Structure formats: structure tokens, C-alpha cells
Amino acid sequence: MKQIKYFYLIILAAMTISCQKVLDTSPTDFIDPNAFYKTPEQLQSALNGVYNALGTIEVYGNNYLYMFNTNTDESYGKIVELTPSYQYDAADAKNEQFWKGLYAGIQRANLLLSKVDNVEMDQTAKNVIKGQALFLRGFQYFMLVSNYGDVPLILTPTASVTEVNIARTPMKTVYAQITKDMIDAETLLQTQTATALGMGGKVTRTAVQGMLARVYLYMAGFPLNDTEKYNDALFWADKVVHPTGNAPEHALNPDYRDIFLKYAKEQYDVKESMWELEFWGNNTGGVNFGNTYTGRFCGITCNDANKGFSSGSINATRKLYNSYQLNPLSTATPNKASFDWRRDWNCANYTWGSGATAVKTNVTNTWLMNAGKWRREYEIVEPKDKNYTSQNFAFLRYSDVLLMLAEAENEVNGPANAYQYVNMVRKRAYGILYGNVVKHITVTKGGTGYTTVPTVTINGGGGNGATAEATISAGAVTGIIITLPGTLTTAGLYYTTAPTVTITGGGGSGATATATITQSTDADLSASEISSKTALLDAIKEERSRELCFEGLRRNDLIRWGKFVEDMKAFLTYANANSGTATNITTAATKVSSRNIFMPIPIHDIQLNNLLLQNPGY
């Protein structure tokens, strides 16, 4: 990805943009306002500190994603822990750390915003700093209000440690401030094109627009149920996808897997990954800011440090695995192949074994497949630290905006113009965003005499890039597995007719096979799925899980749709009926109740703040 340590120092328009991850001034937990905030460089350092608050282990570096969002209907923790299993209480240490971490970031933003207008500097550069600070304050309040409900709303720097008695502000008021901060930020920030950054760690105008769509969808849903806000969600999502007078800033990466390969390889894709949280380093000298979620906990089990250690602590559920469309012609056993290339990336069908040296080991039990989105074997930072990875985490991807646009459009105007955006996401998932690829290869004759696996060659058909591997048994070719369906670029090297499949080598002869290519409609939602607002919403709910699993969105999605507890109990029924009876699979679904719609206000803060009241059930 990027060689960036945090953010480019953007102060003057004429300043040269570096391609290195360099944090010029390390943020500190305490800054004397009278001695700081006097120069553009100090403002930038302070802004880095606001961003830094989101990446700490207490917030997105681990706790929020792993401890509070692991157990849903799409994933579960391999180890039963009280915190991720919805059994936490107001004294839970990680819950307190998450709460405090967000308020620490808000305090930093408030300090910066109170001083930014006093510094003499280029006005455009000042606006960019101010806009980022406003957005980040709004985003951190969004994290608080969506997880805790009513929260204290503090918009000025806390001047004294004795200023502790602050009542909880109603959700509606907090949301109003969030949208104000973000809308104000949108007018101050620039687009990716204008900044010419080519990196996703800095908040830009379109990232704000996309996040506003998310905020308004949350307001439209449970518990506020302000359905008028669907109009606002539609407005902001549409601004990203159909900007007035300009070409769109963003587009889908045609290969879903490549999104996550880029995070491992220190590369940016600002078309797809609209805003991501920066992590860097390997804890060996210099400045490091790694995380323990992407790849370490949420990764493929591995004890080999050279390959990349992962505890593989999060597994996909069979419900998620089975939600991807099967290829009915597949002869693979026990699990048929899927037309949807996301399945075998998100639900890892292998581990690296339990030994000190990595040995690829197949996994066929669909309850035991690790969450495979972030794969440490592709990391390029060496040597690899055991516990911390430099892989970035995406706060917002373009596919999410497309699905939010579909949801908002469906709620406001019905499915007629909404489903096209879901189909765009699905076409990418099937590898046919820009054209057709090889869909299936059927063995027509097994041949005889094969002692080793023969070579499969795919030629013609107007396309390029398809590869496949054969399987043999008793001297005959028994199946052919597609390893790459063809080119996934916009270069036009897609298949217009079925290519020729040739089988050579392996000591045998006589094996033949034929290829089938996809059709442009193969990935589209069915007629029944777009027949009504309710049907399309149900399809969007499932598509969000297939596309965005393990990205920290599912729990809050289920909550805002108003059926969190009901959906978790439905998953419990599903698990019990589908061999998912191990305790760690069902503990969370068994224990979840209406109190888990909100997290508990930390008891430490309630004891200090006489005006704080606890959420129900704690």
C-alpha cells in the first residue's frame, strides 16, 4: 500500500507531495494550548492526533471490531469470551476503553477547532484541516450515539478535570450536531482529484458524502425511526455516484479480492477504498502504529511468523457461506463451487496448519472456515510482527455507497431504479463487471492413463487470462476447477464466445472438456427479489453481508433494521438445525437480549458524573 506513516503534510498548494508514509510530528496525549496551535505544522500535528485516536487498540485497532462486532449471523468468535458474546456489563474494561478512546479523540478535535482560526496560513489549507477536524468529531460522535444512544455532547475543550457532571444529550440532538459537522466539513474539503493524493487515509469530500449517507440511514432506522431521513441518505449517496457536472470520483475495483490484496501489499485504490484507517510498521524501530484485527485476529490460522502469524479467532458462519450462489454444475465435493468469487475469499477454505512451518491445510467444514478477508501471507512489510499488522482498515468502500444508494432509493421511490446499484456490486462479485468470463468447465471425456495432474490450457473466445486446474482419479480426469475466470480489467479482454479447453501431459491421453462463459445477466437479482420494496430490502440485507462481512457493520445494520434480537434468535435456530451446535457458535445468539441494542455506559464514568444515567438492562 502506501508507504505512509499517517498523513501527508498538506499545508500549501505548492508543497511537493511525498509518496512515503511520514508522520512529521508525533501527536501527544497532552498539548498545552498556550504553547501549541500557532503554526500550520502544529495544526497538522494536532490533526494527526485526532486521526490517531481512531486507530488505537481501544477503538478500531482491535476492541470495537473484535470485541463488540464479532458475533452476528455472519461470523462468530472461536473462543467464548464474555465481551464479544453480549455478556458484558457496565464494568467491562474494553467497553470503558472504547468510550474513553472516542471522547479522547473528540477532546483533541475540540482543541484543534478552538484554535484553528487563530493561525495565519493559506486559507484553502486551513479549510482542509478544519474540515477534517469537524468531520472526525462528527464521526466519533456517530460511533458513540449509534452504540450507546444518548451521550454527553461536548463541543468545546474541557478546561478542567472537575468538569465531569454532564448529562446525556438526546440522540436526535446528537445526530443533528453530527450532520451539521459533516455538512460543514463537506464544504471545506476537496475531492481526491483536487488533492491529487492518491491515498485513502485522508478524509476527502466524497468520503464525507458517503458517510453522511450512512448517518442518515441510521437516523431513518431504529431506534429514531425518522423515515424522512431516507431522502437525505438518498441525496448524499447520489452525490457520490452521480456528482453534478463532474465525472465520478469512484468506481468498483473489478476484482473483489484485489481490494484486500492491496491492503496487504501497501497499495492504495482510492476509487474503491474511499476512506481507510492507516496502520504501518512492524514494531521494529522508528514510529509504528499497527493493529491486531486485520490479519492477526481476523485472519487465517497460522503459527509461522514468516508466513504471518494469525490466531484465526473469527470464523465465518455456515449461513454466510451458504448465502453465496452455487454453481449447480460443479462436481467439487463436499462443497460445490460458487459463481460468486467473494465466497472463497471471505470464507477461507484452508489454514496454514498448527505447526511452526506453514503447511496449507484444506478446510471443508463450513462452520470452521476462518474469516479470510485480510491474508497475512501477502503482506510485504518484513519481518512480520506476530501481533501487529500494517494492513489498513476501510471505513468506507464504494460498494457500500452503492448498496446504501440502493437502499435509500428503494425506501423513497421503490425498486424500479434501485436494484441496478445492487446488480453493479453483484456483477463485480461474479467477475463480470466489464464483460463475461469463464463460468464453468465440464469434463466431456475423462481419458485414460493419467498418473499426474495434466495441464489445462484455455485459448480463444475473444478473451484472456482464464486458468484452471484438473483433478484425476483412477487414471482419468474427473474435474476441472477454474482458478481464474479471465481478465478482470477494463481492457476489453473478455470472452464473447466459449474458449477452447485443451488437456495435455500427465502421462495420459483422451481427456476433453468444454467451457461455458457467463452471460451479462448471470449476477442480476431475480425478478422476485425486485418485485417489491420489501423483497428488495431483504435482498439488500443479504448482499450487504456477502459484500461487507467482517468490516464492523453487521451488528449496527441489524439494529437499525429493527430486528437485531429477532435476527440473532433466527440465527440460533439456523445453527441448531445445521450442525452449528458447538458452544462458541451459539453462545452470543443464546445470550443476546434487547439490552444489547445499546452498550452500557461505563460504570467508572457514572460514578464520576452524577448526571449520567445507565442504559436499560445494565
DSSP state of 390: -
Q: Which residue has the higher pLDDT, 227 or 582?
A: 227
Which residues on neighbouring strands pair with residue 481, listed in sequence order? 469
pLDDT digits 0-9 by tens, 196-226: 667 889 999 999 999 999 999 999 999 999 9
Minimal CA–CA distance to 250: which of 216, 217, 210, 277?
210
Between the alpha carbon of residue 26 and those of residues 20, 31, 200, 608, the distances in Å are 16, 12, 20, 31
Could you tell me the pLDDT band of residue 85, with boundaries at 50, 70 and 90?
A: confident
Predicted pLDDT of residue 160: 63
Predicted pLDDT of residue 490: 76
Predicted pLDDT of residue 17: 25
Report the alpha-carbon distance of residue 371 to residue 312 in Å, rounded: 7
Share of the chain above pLDDT 70, in %: 93
Give every CB contact of residue 264 below 8 A, 6+ residues apart in sequence. Answer: 1, 295, 374, 375, 376, 378, 379, 380, 391
Predicted pLDDT of residue 533: 98
Report the alpha-carbon distance of residue 189 to residue 13 in Å, rounded: 14
pLDDT of 30 above 60: no
3-state helix, strand, coil in the chain (%, to 5): 40, 15, 50
pLDDT of 24 above 60: no
Predicted pLDDT of residue 284: 86
pLDDT digits 0-9 by tens, 44-57: 999 999 999 999 99
Beta strands in 272-358 (DSSP E): 273-277, 314-316, 350-351
Mean pLDDT (whole number) for 353-365 = 96
Could you tell me the pLDDT band of residue 195, with boundaries at 50, 70 and 90?
A: confident
Could you tell me the pLDDT band of residue 19, with boundaries at 50, 70 and 90?
A: very low
> Of 23-37, 129-143, 407-421, 494-508, where does mean pLDDT reach its minimum?
23-37
DSSP state of 554: H
Report the alpha-carbon distance of residue 191 to residue 47 in Å, rounded: 19
- Phi first, then psi: what are they for 393, rounded to 5°? -120, 130
